[in-house]
Structure 1
Amino acid sequence: MWSFFFLVASFSGVKVEASSNFSDNNWQISWLIKNADFEVVDIADFGVSAGAPYVWYVDQEGVEAWGTSNPSGEIEVWQNGVGQPIPAYSGNNFIELNSNGPGPVYQDIKTIPGSTLTWSFAHRGRSGIDTAELLIGAPGNLAPIFLASDGQEWGTYSGTYVVPAGQTHTRLTFAPISTSNGNLTTGNFLDDINLYISIEGAQLGDYVWHDENGNGVQDNGESPAPGVEVNLYDNQGSLLQTQTTNDLGGYLFSGLLPGNYGIAFVNPDPSHYVFTNQKSGGDAARDSDPNKNGRATINIPTLRSEVISMDAGLTTIGSAMIHKTDGVKNLAGASFDVLDSNGNLITNVTTDANGIAMAENLIPGTYTTKETSAPIGYQLDQTATSFEIVYEQTTPVELNVTNQIITGSVTVHKIGKQDQALPYAIFEINTASGENIGTITTDKNGDATMSGLIPGDYVLSEVTAPKGYERSKETRPFTIPFNPTETVELTVKNELIETPPEPKPDEPSNPSTPTTDSKHSAVITATKAVTSAEKLPATGDSDDLAVLFIGIFALTTSMYLVRRK
């Protein structure tokens, strides 16, 4: 019946602590009241002086958890201080219900229908006997519960209230009824307001919720998970109790002895839900305790212990489909790591014959996939791809990843007759079908390389030979294999261009002016030339014919010189 206790503690942000009201096998714990003795008040931002030292009119926004129906919207807060004749009942602060007008104060609390709550408060008159009333009920449907009348001493009061069926929100209101002097702006001090719930033995419980973003933390707006079965086991594995979370996701085991216990949360639909990340966020009051199988362990140290941190988050599961191709065909054998937003490895998947790899059972969140092994003959894709899994996802997230085929290279070594390196030879590379790929030119070492050739058949042709060498007319076919591991090497040898030898020229005559002796020598030379010329050259003997003409020219020149002399 008390399952909701731990749920509300989580929602309200209030740590529930045991009170001192213990009895054998029965004790009380505070039930969700915030700022019970008005200690949390923001006077600096929301307060103004009420005309006396240590007395303030504070806008209700500055008084945590409390509201007022005072038309001014202000709550009158008194504080202990030098010269202040009225001390607080608890702590340093208390309030006056008769503020700058009659100012009922109230606080709304989540409650479990059918539960019994114990209330208590302290009341005092200001100048004489003042009267105030406690009203409890659903907002808009309050019922009078108790009248307190006190003079200039604090009086304390308590009682019980049974939450009606269907009432999950209950309002406590303290309203001023009368004052000793009839002044509706002075009187009725109030302090130390509490609610308790009676519990037998040690307690264990908390809250089951839908973790819609999959982060393992109870975030605002995430809904409770009602109807979830929770089983309690002793340290020997024997089942002790079974609870089912209520409409607000709460559960509670009570009457427990100190010791070690096991808790098993039962997944209501394993085909749809999984338990969220365990122990995330660093806050035990807001994390999820069970592992992926819904199991957790806990220790209860004493009979009066309350363990209110055993939460469980349920979330949905989604999937991602990785489709691997080379742009044309599907590729099998590509492996991928799938990492969560913190870089933790979630799974590794490998594509099948259809090029598909499925990453299953992914809770909501951001993931990254990266290829760890490429198909044979293809380059490893180092690109990390992010994707999102959302709550209640029904279809896989599809990721298309393309691999580039591993390309090869060819190197041409150009040499001469003596195996010397020949630079500046230009080669053209074509596919076997005649498509031109490009040209390469040998460097000073006689080498030229073309890379990035996809596997297939090619033809190498020389288009320009080094200077002084004949162009090789021979084409050289070669093949880049699938999944190439080394460069294809080709050697092409060039021959020198053959040229005919040039004729040896005659010795030139002395160009200086001839003397008498030189003129005589010239005549003798010319005569010899004529004598030699008397022998007719053989038909087709071009060399003899040339000599004949030289001789005639020399004879004519000599005769001319003699005549001039």
Structure 2
Amino acid sequence: MKQRWIVGLFFLLLLMLAGGLKADATGNWEFSWMIKNADFENVNIAEYGRNAGQPNVWYVNQDGVEAWATSNPSGNIEVWQNGNGEHVPAFSGTNFIELNSDGPGPVYQDIKTVPGSTLKWSFAHRGRNGSDVAELLIGAPDNPLPIVTAEDGTVWNTYSGTYVVPAGQTMTRLTFNPVSTSHGNLTIGNFLDDVNLYIDVAGAQLGDYVWYDTNGDGIQNDGEPPAANVQVELYTKNNVLVKTETTNDIGAYLFTGLLAGEYHVKFINPDPSRYTFTKQKVGDENTDSDPDKNGNATANLASIRDFNATIDAGLTTIGSVIIHKVDQDKKLADAKFAVQDSAGTTVASGTTNEDGTVQIDGLTPGNYSIQETAAPTGYELSQARTPFTITYGQTAPVELTVTNQLKTGTLIIHKTNTKNQDLENATFEVFDEKNQSIAKIVTNKSGTATLNGLLPGSYYVKEREAPDGYQLKSDSIPFTIPFNPTTPVTLTVQNTVVPANNPVTPDKPQPKPATPVIVTPTITPVTVTPNTTADKLPETGDRSADVAQLLGLALLATSLLLTRRK
């Protein structure tokens, strides 16, 4: 089982046994002091036991007997239960043990103690078949000293006394050693039951434990060291200082002799530049840390006989994270970040300065992540979570770099004719300011073509293919995506139709011309027969002139004839 460091606090009595509070003859109050499994009831027989040869008698490996151990070479503790074959009843409860097990060996339990405190011990002893002898030794684990010898026959007897814890002894061992048996067999004899420790207190008490929470989880865990020399102040509810205590070498503090009422407990941080108080109120009241980040906790004492041993305080180191916000090589201010713990709870936040950095301090050990909650103007919000870890005793901040991307814009080209009718299937090519082609886009049935993801800057478009029947626009159309774009850039581009044959409807697309038909005329030659009856003129010149004259005379005669008829 897990053991808390506070188990040994003389004032805590954190693990008091049920019914362990009683008044003695002096009027003081006795509290059960840290003893566990006092009457051997917590035994795991099913997993660790085997029958010892008679009903309800078991050899149980020490791992199965809570809090107790043995130096028996076999490692077994012999556990008896009511209903055993020899009809021996338990002194308390239903279980007890026999010190002389399957081999001789003391049975012992280690308990944390506070030097200078006075403990009252008691136990019950009985012989098995006659007079058996055992002794109680108390002291440091490596130097137990004899306290009392118990010699008893077949009747239970009780023994008690006091023990003052020596200076420097923070661990005390109670050892029960079998000395002899009635018939000399060292495996038979010496029954033991109802082992108890008590501490005397006077008046109401308040106290608990201060420790170093090395994993920052707010819970007292095995191996986490106590915090010695921590000052603790006790105030009334009206903030009147009552007492001041300092934790001892096992982290314990105790206020005694108190009146009933409400109190304010203030734990003084020994080094605020290095430590902070751990998470508040995690787990149960016996293992948690009660004060807030300023070391303040509240407590209540119901009566003068009350004992409140639940006001613990955990100290842990603090670490930092530095966040660098950049756009490639540019540092970005006004980026807001939230720091979340492993449960997703926001524990801190910050905003980058003009240098693009923000430092978030006061982080206790644990696993965290950062999430951007607001991006600088003109930049996309980062959706990524960046994990990091704060370790106990961290001396240098964890440094993280988060890169933002500029917000991109959108280009919408609307293609129409001169009558503002939408035109589809117009192809455009988009170029950046370095004349690099970015994309080609084509208008849809609504006459629009869209291009997303354009970084701020200068661009231009060129029409590469016009809709059928329309003239291609040859000029470049410039446009600019602004910094921090909020709306799309829209360009309206009109096309004119190819000129049509019908002037009345010039916007009607001209159909493509048909392939021309080439007609070759047929020429019939004319044969002219010369008049042989006429007088033949001398061939003194070109005869073509004579022919022309004859034709002219014929035409003149025809004209005169027509005139007369009219």
TM-score (ref. length: structure 2): 0.83
Shift of residue 205, structure 1, vs aligned partner: 0.8
Equivalent residue for 2:96?
94
User: Structure 1 CA distance, aligned partners of 2:334 and 2:101?
Assistant: 79
User: Structure 1 CA distance, aligned partners of 2:45 and 2:501?
Assistant: 116
User: Structure 2 CA distance, aligned partners of 1:153 and 1:16?
Assistant: 26
1:158-169 alignment to 2 at 5 Å? 158-169=160-171
Equivalent residue for 1:63?
65
The amino acid across from 1:468 in the alignment is G
Compare 38-47 and 240-249 and name the one that shifted more: 38-47
1:410-559 alignment to 2 at 5 Å? 410-498=411-499
Compare 82-91 and 156-165 and name the one that shifted more: 82-91
User: Structure 1 CA distance, aligned partners of 2:68 and 2:13?
Assistant: 14
C-alpha distance 61-438 of structure 1, shift in aligned 2 (>3 A):
closer
Cα distance per residue 1:125-155 (max 9 Å; x no partner): 2333322211222223222211122222222
SS in structure 2 at match of 1:354:
coil
Whether the aligned pair in 2 keeps the contact of 1:6 and 1:205 (CA below 8 Å) is: no
Equivalent residue for 1:548?
none
Equivalent residue for 2:229?
227
Equivalent residue for 1:328?
329
User: Structure 2 CA distance, aligned partners of 1:332 and 1:242?
Assistant: 48
Which of 85, 100, 123 is 2:87 aligned to? 85
The amino acid across from 1:469 in the alignment is Y
User: Structure 1 CA distance, aligned partners of 2:109 and 2:8?
Assistant: 18
Which of 262, 267, 270 is 1:268 aligned to? 270
C-alpha distance 432-43 of structure 1, shift in aligned 2 (>3 A):
closer
User: Structure 1 CA distance, aligned partners of 2:376 and 2:6?
Assistant: 57
User: Structure 1 CA distance, aligned partners of 2:27 and 2:12?
Assistant: 28
Equivalent residue for 1:190?
192
Shift of residue 7, structure 1, vs aligned partner: 4.7
Whether the aligned pair in 2 keeps the contact of 1:54 and 1:84 (CA below 8 Å) is: no
Equivalent residue for 2:560?
none
Equivalent residue for 1:311?
312
Structure 2 unaligned blocks of 5 or more: 503-512, 520-525, 527-566
Whether the aligned pair in 2 keeps the contact of 1:131 and 1:149 (CA below 8 Å) is: yes
User: Structure 1 CA distance, aligned partners of 2:241 and 2:14?
Assistant: 32
Identity of aligned residues (%): 56
Whether the aligned pair in 2 keeps the contact of 1:102 and 1:176 (CA below 8 Å) is: yes
Equivalent residue for 1:551?
none
User: Structure 1 CA distance, aligned partners of 2:463 and 2:357?
Assistant: 46
Compare 31-40 and 183-192 and name the one that shifted more: 183-192
SS in structure 1 at match of 2:47:
helix
Equivalent residue for 2:36?
34
The amino acid across from 2:461 in the alignment is L
The amino acid across from 1:418 in the alignment is K
User: Structure 1 CA distance, aligned partners of 2:42 and 2:11?
Assistant: 20
SS in structure 1 at match of 2:244:
strand
1:182-261 alignment to 2 at 5 Å? 182-261=184-263
Compare 21-30 and 146-155 and name the one that shifted more: 21-30
Shift of residue 279, structure 1, vs aligned partner: 0.5
Whether the aligned pair in 1 keeps the contact of 2:16 and 2:31 (CA below 8 Å) is: no
Compare 30-39 and 180-189 and name the one that shifted more: 180-189
1:382-397 alignment to 2 at 5 Å? 382-397=383-398
SS in structure 1 at match of 2:330:
coil
Give the number of aligned pairs. 504
Cα distance per residue 1:6-56 (max 9 Å; x no partner): 654899983356432434552222222111112222223333333333333
Are residues 1:406 and 2:421 paired? no
Equivalent residue for 1:370?
371
Cα distance per residue 1:63-100 (max 9 Å; x no partner): 22222233333222222127743222111122222333
The amino acid across from 1:203 in the alignment is Q
Cα distance per residue 1:261-294 (max 9 Å; x no partner): 110000001111111111112x110010011111
Cα distance per residue 1:464-509 (max 9 Å; x no partner): 2223322222222222211122222222222333478999x9xx9x
Are residues 1:338 and 2:339 paired? yes
SS in structure 2 at match of 1:44:
helix
C-alpha distance 92-437 of structure 1, shift in aligned 2 (>3 A):
same
C-alpha distance 74-464 of structure 1, shift in aligned 2 (>3 A):
closer
Equivalent residue for 2:279?
277
Whether the aligned pair in 2 keeps the contact of 1:10 and 1:286 (CA below 8 Å) is: no
SS in structure 2 at match of 1:153:
coil
The amino acid across from 2:124 in the alignment is A
The amino acid across from 1:176 in the alignment is P
Whether the aligned pair in 2 keeps the contact of 1:9 and 1:16 (CA below 8 Å) is: no
Whether the aligned pair in 2 keeps the contact of 1:7 and 1:249 (CA below 8 Å) is: no
Shift of residue 230, structure 1, vs aligned partner: 0.4
User: Structure 1 CA distance, aligned partners of 2:450 and 2:329?
Assistant: 29
C-alpha distance 415-131 of structure 1, shift in aligned 2 (>3 A):
closer
The amino acid across from 2:30 in the alignment is Q
User: Structure 1 CA distance, aligned partners of 2:133 and 2:365?
Assistant: 56
Are residues 1:181 and 2:180 paired? no
The amino acid across from 2:327 in the alignment is D
User: Structure 1 CA distance, aligned partners of 2:99 and 2:84?
Assistant: 23
C-alpha distance 359-379 of structure 1, shift in aligned 2 (>3 A):
same
C-alpha distance 487-10 of structure 1, shift in aligned 2 (>3 A):
farther
SS in structure 1 at match of 2:234:
strand
User: Structure 2 CA distance, aligned partners of 1:69 and 1:473?
Assistant: 102
Compare 201-210 and 186-195 and name the one that shifted more: 186-195
User: Structure 1 CA distance, aligned partners of 2:129 and 2:448?
Assistant: 111
Q: Which has the higher helix share?
A: 1
Shift of residue 259, structure 1, vs aligned partner: 1.2
SS in structure 1 at match of 2:435:
coil
Equivalent residue for 1:350?
351
Compare 394-403 and 306-315 and name the one that shifted more: 394-403
- Backbone CA RMSD of aligned residues: 2.7
Equivalent residue for 2:539?
none
User: Structure 1 CA distance, aligned partners of 2:491 and 2:6?
Assistant: 84
User: Structure 2 CA distance, aligned partners of 1:233 and 1:274?
Assistant: 21
User: Structure 1 CA distance, aligned partners of 2:287 and 2:11?
Assistant: 7
Compare 75-84 and 61-70 and name the one that shifted more: 75-84
Whether the aligned pair in 2 keeps the contact of 1:338 and 1:370 (CA below 8 Å) is: yes
Cα distance per residue 1:409-464 (max 9 Å; x no partner): 22222222333333222222222332222222222333222222211222222222
Equivalent residue for 1:144?
146
SS in structure 2 at match of 1:172:
strand
User: Structure 2 CA distance, aligned partners of 1:12 and 1:201?
Assistant: 15
User: Structure 2 CA distance, aligned partners of 1:252 and 1:113?
Assistant: 14
User: Structure 1 CA distance, aligned partners of 2:90 and 2:398?
Assistant: 62
User: Structure 1 CA distance, aligned partners of 2:355 and 2:286?
Assistant: 47
SS in structure 2 at match of 1:490:
strand
User: Structure 2 CA distance, aligned partners of 1:426 and 1:99?
Assistant: 98
SS in structure 2 at match of 1:142:
strand
Equivalent residue for 1:106?
108
Equivalent residue for 2:303?
302
The amino acid across from 1:187 in the alignment is G
C-alpha distance 499-151 of structure 1, shift in aligned 2 (>3 A):
closer
SS in structure 2 at match of 1:45:
helix
User: Structure 1 CA distance, aligned partners of 2:130 and 2:79?
Assistant: 19
User: Structure 1 CA distance, aligned partners of 2:173 and 2:7?
Assistant: 19
